[in-house]
Copies of this chain bind each other. A is one copy, B any other.
Amino acid sequence: MGCANQLCEAEPFTALIYRRSSCLLSGEGVLRSQSRASLEYQDVRAAGKRLRLGDLAEKLGISTATVSLALRDSPLVAKETRQRVKDYAAEVGYIYNRSAASLRTSQSDMIGVAVHDILNPYFAEVFRGLEEVLAEEDKTILICNHRDMLKRQDQFIDTLLQHRVDGLILCPSVGTSPERINQISEQGVAITLVCRDLPGVQTPCVRGDDYHGSYLMTKHLIDQGHRQIAMIGGRRQSSSGRDRNNGWRAALVDAGIDPDEQLDIPELMTQADGQAVVPRILSAIPRPTAVACFNDLVALGVLTAVRRAGVEPGPELAITGYDDTEGVQNRTPALTTVANGAETIGREAAQMMLKQINGEPVPSGIKLIKPELRIRESAPPIGCRLGPVVGV
């Protein structure tokens, strides 16, 4: 796999500086330039300062109070005045100062969102749902990737509280204490949990029905004739890991099958984890005929490694995922999985958050989004020899 080209010999990702024709002046103060020759700013007294409400007021010959109200479209100001103010503000490029407003109102119009892995397409979808709703209400979203590190999550929460966020949407890190959450909530910050529940917490939660989804999936595998069904991945300290595990157990028990503890392998979350665990699965005695994975990432990892090991994913070993993330229907074989309503979860959580912020009554407790089985190719009936899709 040697690289034929001479340029590949350089060390990876070294950086070259190319100069543009129009050169940027470097050195202190360049970007904080004092010269403000540009049109609209000529009249501001102190050069280098931005326009304030007061400046607009002075120009327009009205008070700052009126300007403030006008810009916020208050009915206390005559329509005509409102328009005049807004037009002028736009004309001179006035920039509202949220720090000042926040200080005064102790509202920030910011919502913090913390999840353990934004790179996981599943969360990306949740995020899309959140953003869709919150952007509509002019909320700014602050994101944190805590990677299940409690310290990072705590740091992030501290920062958010310092910014006086209106609310916090949290997929709580492993180890999060319910007391901390309740305490923050008592401080007047709206909190909604997503994806993972936390026992003992008094804030709303929106998540998929992991137990039920996992039950459905396991039952499906049983219906396909499987008896040796492994359950791999998921953290037992998170509700999703626990619930999906319990769903698997319950389905087995309901079918009169004793869960084989050797086939219960927790703590895997990523594609790499999925790849790494395959030898263990293939060498188990008796060897499972189906593997129910905690999420799609793990399933894809398993799929890859199983194929490398010379076992054909699907016909020779059924593999299922969870989440139905984008693209898994296009894999070979197409992944049988559980759609989790990620975007719906995001939207619902955002709406719940907005209600809390506006002081509207919020349906208390956990809101469960109903999961849906997506039957595709990676978990065919046992013994049923589906040809691989790849033509040969």
Contact = CB atoms under 8 A, between A and B. Distances in A.
A369 interface: yes
A235 interface: no
A375 interface: yes
Contact of A187 (B22, B50, B145, B159): B50
A219 B6 CA distance: 12
Contacts of A163: 98-99, 140
The count of identical subunits is 2
> A interface, how many residues as a size bin?
35 or more
A155 to B, nearest CB: 8
A185 interface: yes
Interface stretch (A23-31, A56-64, A280-288): A23-31
A86 interface: no
Interface stretch (A72-80, A226-234, A258-266, A324-332): A324-332
A365 interface: yes
A356 interface: yes
Nearest to A96: B162
Contacts of A119: 121, 124, 128, 326
20 contacts: A4-B223, A8-B373, A12-B339, A12-B372, A17-B368, A18-B365, A18-B367, A24-B202, A24-B362, A26-B361, A28-B359, A97-B103, A98-B164, A99-B102, A99-B108, A304-B332, A307-B332, A307-B389, A387-B392, A392-B392
Q: 5 shortest A-B CB distances, which residue pairs?
A: A24-B364, A13-B341, A99-B102, A26-B361, A13-B344
